[in-house]
Amino acid sequence: MTTPFLPFTRPSLDEATIQGVVEVLRSGWLATGPNVAQLESALSDYVGGRPVKVMTSATAALEIALLAAGIGPGDEVITPAMSFVATANVIARVGARPVFVDVDLDTRNIDLDAVERAITPATMALMPVHFAGLPVDMERLYGIADGHGLRVIEDAAHAIGSGLPGRRIGSQGDLVCFSFHPNKNMTTLEGGALVADDPAELRAIDLHRFHGLDRNADGTMEVSLPGGKANLTDVAARVGLGQLPLLDGFNDRRRELAGRYFDLLAGESRLRLPARGDASHSWHMFAPLLDLSQLKIDRAGFIALMKAQGIGVGVHYPAIHLFSHYRKLGYAEGDFPNAERIGRETVTLPLFPAMQDNDVDRVCDVLCRILAENAR
């Protein structure tokens, strides 16, 4: 019997959710409708009662958050050089300048000392990422933002369910964006959400999300800004309604599996393990760094050897400032050493709620054997 391939992530959809989706498909109402309203209300409860708007992706949520906050040409937004590229792309897309700063090597979170040094009179907002689900130091982050009159747009794509009880990510702070892509801790197929408080901004979010359209009391229409189209379908929302009650259980299981990785990999000197965090960590992914100086193979070679043994390994992420678009803005190799080192050495090991303990054991066995066999 061959062992089935173990991907680095896989969504968990239960049968009740699949049946619920079938019912929506048969209902005759597929676009935005009652399931979207119900998901927004359930997510709002989940983040302590703050208003939540769902949309087609976190990328759309981040872009709309910037637009709703009035950020555009001439403005600077400070953001980490290590993240998924969407974080920086949305800043560029609204015409503002992404100002990169380095991250901590082990937490992978934005370096808040570097944030303070990067603030200029043009800075309008901070866009941190709760990397892999480990919350950024919120007190210090908001201390800096408040001290300089800056907005905060949290890229919480990895962080639905992160945070200690009563202090969940999204339940406090400024604009907060979640992702429900299938790789994230809960899914709506594709999808995202934006948490906001200000009534004028909530209205702007609605307009940007759906063509800028308003309906007047007499049934006629009005368009006050050229909105886009990012509304979620009821089919997708039904998936989210099935996922949300399972989320805390998913994240508990992620923490257990991550704990097992720490136990089994503690003695592996060719790996640098990520910061362990505490119960606030939702372990969106487990991504150690490979010490390539101790190995005869490169990262691609390591990934290929793992794959040949039936184990999927991801790369999250290349440093953003080294992509050609961002080099054109003046960034270069050497600007952010930690982001660059993570970009070169990071490997994402399998971690998802349906994994068994012995899946972690197998990953660690195979990985340690490959590292030993290819030691320099």
Among all residues, which ones are annotated catalytic? 184
**178 or 331: CB nearest ligand PLP:** 178
> What mask, x for binding ligand PLP by CB under 6 A, covers residues 283 to 322?
----------------------------------------
State yes or no: cis peptide before 317, omega within 30 of 0: yes
**Spatial contact of 127 and 63, defined as CB atoms under 8 Å apart:** no
| Residue 73 phi, psi dihedral angles, 5° rounding | -55, 135
CB neighbour list of residue 98: distance below 8 Å, 6 or more residues apart: 77, 79, 88, 91, 92, 320, 326, 329
**Shortest CB 251 distance to ligand PLP, Å:** 16
- What is the closest distance, in whole angstroms, from the C-beta atom of residue 182 to ligand PLP in the complex? 9
Sign, Cα dihedral of 149, 87, 84, 233: positive
* Angle between helices 234-265 and 15-27 in degrees, nearest 10: 160
Q: Which of residues 101-140 bind ligand PLP (CB under 6 A)?
A: 129
Task: Give the nearer residue to ligand PLP in terms of CB position, either 58 or 134.
Answer: 58
Q: Does 59 bind ligand PLP (CB under 6 A)?
A: yes
155, 174, 340, 359: which one contacts ligand PLP (CB under 6 A)? 155
Tell me which stretch binds ligand PLP (CB under 6 A): 72-80, 83-91, 262-270, 300-308: 83-91
Contacting range for ligand PLP; rule: CB under 6 A; set: 31-39, 51-59, 107-115, 326-334: 51-59
Does residue 158 touch ligand PLP according to CB under 6 A?
A: yes
Q: How far is the CB of 186 from ligand PLP (least distance, A)?
A: 12
**DSSP summary character for residue 5:** P
Whole-angstrom Cα distance, residue 22 to residue 36? 16
The total of other beta-carbon atoms located within 10 Å of residue 62's CB is: 29
Whole-number Å distance between alpha carbons of 5 and 194: 35
84 touching ligand PLP, by CB under 6 A: yes
DSSP 322: G
Closest by CA to 88, choosing from 106, 114, 110, 112, is 110
Q: How far is residue 360 CA from its own chain's centroid?
A: 23
Considering the complex, state which of residue 57 and residue 107 has its C-beta at the smaller distance from ligand PLP: 57
| Among 52-60, 164-172, 289-297, 300-308, the segment contacting ligand PLP (CB under 6 A) | 52-60
Q: How far is residue 82's CA from residue 130's CA, in Å, rounded to a whole number?
A: 11
Q: Decide if residue 57 touches ligand PLP (CB under 6 A).
A: yes
**Among residue numbers 234 through 263, which ones bind ligand PLP (CB under 6 A)?**
none
Neighbours of 87 (CB within 10 A): 26
Q: What are phi and psi of 166, to 5 degrees?
A: 85, -10
Residue 177 or 367 having the CB closest to ligand PLP: 177
Identify which of residues 24 and 132 has a Cβ nearer to ligand PLP in the complex.
Answer: 132
Is 170 an interacting residue with respect to ligand PLP (CB under 6 A)? no
CB nearer to ligand PLP: pick between 94 and 129: 129
Which parts of this chain interact with ligand PLP (CB under 6 A)?
A: 57-59, 83-84, 86-87, 129, 155, 157-158, 179, 181, 192
